[in-house]
Amino acid sequence: MTDLLLQSLYSGVLVGGAYALVALGLALVFGSMRIINLAHGELVLLAAYIAYTFETKLGLNPVFAIPVAIPVVCAAAAAAWYLVSRIKRDRELNSLILTYGIGIVLTNAVLLGWGADVRSTGSAWLQDSVMLGNLLSMRSEVLSFGISVALMLALWWWLSRSWYGRAVRAISSNRDAARLMGIDPRKTELISFVVAGLLASCAGVSIYASSAIQPSIGEALTVKAFIITVLAGVGSIPGVLAGAMLLGITEALTVTLASSALQELAGMLLFLLVLYVLPNGLFGVAKRRG
């Protein structure tokens, strides 16, 4: 029983790494623009299907599809930003409706282009087992976790050290004051969407490499990414990893100790519990006065 629990915890951590990779882009846009991009999961899905096409048509490892997926998904993210930027009134509410519509368009585009069948990688190298002591996983899961941590560190460095990263943080803190300091909000927000598209590209290829995909999972990915963003607290990059691992471990333990039918319910209960106990998230900062 102990070995089973340890394996469940290990699997939950690896799944949490994949969830964190999906949530990073949504958390970046939400933190900088206070906009929930409901099409983010579909951007991840688009990258996953590009990886599928890369593998089936060219016979190459899906990981090599990342340089191809990045410009396509970033272009789609930039188009979504352009449409959102045209909203002048009730931006938060109207952007929800708009990005939800964009997500539906992308889902149907995937259905038209690739069909509704379930797809998964045929790469034996990615599906090979990797042993860590008595703990078992696929090579793709370990690779996905490593990519997630590396991108999280890169994003943290970009936000804290680069000029545009600091501009994103300034816009999220006080848009009007940032404009007075010479920061162009529109250009900064576009950069946020493009960086989110880059992260979604890596997440989509990673998901295809480690699990099965189908057009309907885009919405589910968006919901999980939003849950993790709220668990983390707005603007907390380390919180994204912690929230994703907490969600992954909760789901894995639920499957092991109860039933796979309760997996999604357990995630939502965790979300509601953290929201009730810690309204600002695990690492969120309470709103300051003045």
pLDDT in tens, 206-248: 999 988 999 989 999 999 998 888 888 766 778 888 889 999 9
Higher pLDDT, 24 or 32: 24
The strand pair at 135-138 and 129-132 is best described as antiparallel
Which region among 1-5, 39-43, 138-142 has the lowest average model confidence (pLDDT)? Answer: 1-5
Kindly report, residue by residue over 251-282, the tens digit of the pLDDT.
Answer: 999 988 888 888 888 888 888 888 888 777 77
The pLDDT of residue 197: 94
| The pLDDT of residue 68 is above 80 | yes
What is the C-alpha to C-alpha distance for residues 120 and 91, in angstroms, rounded to an integer? 38
Mean pLDDT in the chain? 87
Residue with tokens 């096409």: 53
Q: Could you give the CA distance from residue 3 to residue 10 in angstroms, rounded to a whole number? A: 10
Which contiguous run of DSSP H or E holds residue 220?
Answer: helix 217-232
* CATH class assigned to 2-121+135-277: mainly alpha
Model confidence at 108: pLDDT above 90: yes
Write down the pLDDT at residue 288: 38
Angle between helical axes of 139-161 and 163-173 (0-180°, round to 10): 80
